[in-house]
Amino acid sequence: MADRWKAVEEELKRLTHFNTEGRAKMVDVSKKEVTARKAIAQGMVKMRAETMSLIKEGSIEKGDVLAVAQVAGIMAAKKTAELIPMCHPLQITGIDISFSDLSKTELGITATVKTMDRTGVEMEALTAVAVAALAIYDMCKAVDKTMMIGNIELIEKTGGKSSQ
């Protein structure tokens, strides 16, 4: 039994997100170097073509859908550490949210987040995309109950030792 526990302890030392009791912990990044870091995430909202037209025309009753979604995404990126338990609070130096027509029924969302810090901003970029998509859904749900949010993914990460 002692040998088994020793093996478990050794494995836990390798896993940076667990303490010696096997419980989750926030990783200590104090020894990491401060570097320029950037993450880009993307996702999409699928909707009826009529809904896409209403968004482009600015005819959704609740207001300018993309302006609201852009602000929601920016706010979400800034609040990521409050939403995701093991994320470090970061000094974000830039956030950009952009939208593109992927098709007549698919609206693309891209978030680019930058920092000068000890850890990356992947979760901030992913959170920005997710919340921007949710804001679009909220703004348009009265006219389109068929909307789907999907394909949220990290597409680029730079900075730090594990750049992609």
Q: Is residue 136 part of a domain?
A: yes
Look up the domain containing 2 and give its range. Answer: 1-31
Q: Do residue 26 and residue 2 come from a single domain?
A: yes
Residue 113 and residue 75 share a domain: yes
My answer on whether 27 and 41 are in the same domain is no
**Residue tagged active-site, from 28, 64, 117, 138:** 138
Q: Which residue has the higher pLDDT, 131 or 162?
A: 131
**Are 93 and 154 in the same domain?**
yes
User: pLDDT tens digits, residue range 66-109?
Assistant: 999 999 999 999 999 999 988 999 999 999 999 999 999 999 99
Query: Are 39 and 22 contained in the same domain?
Result: no
Dihedral angle at the C-alpha atoms of 107, 126, 130, 57, nearest 10 degrees?
-30
CATH number for the domain harbouring residue 79: 3.30.70.640
71 & 11 share domain: no
163 lies in some domain: no
**One domain for residues 107 and 133:** yes
| 138 part of the active site | yes
Predicted local distance difference test score (pLDDT) of residue 90: 94
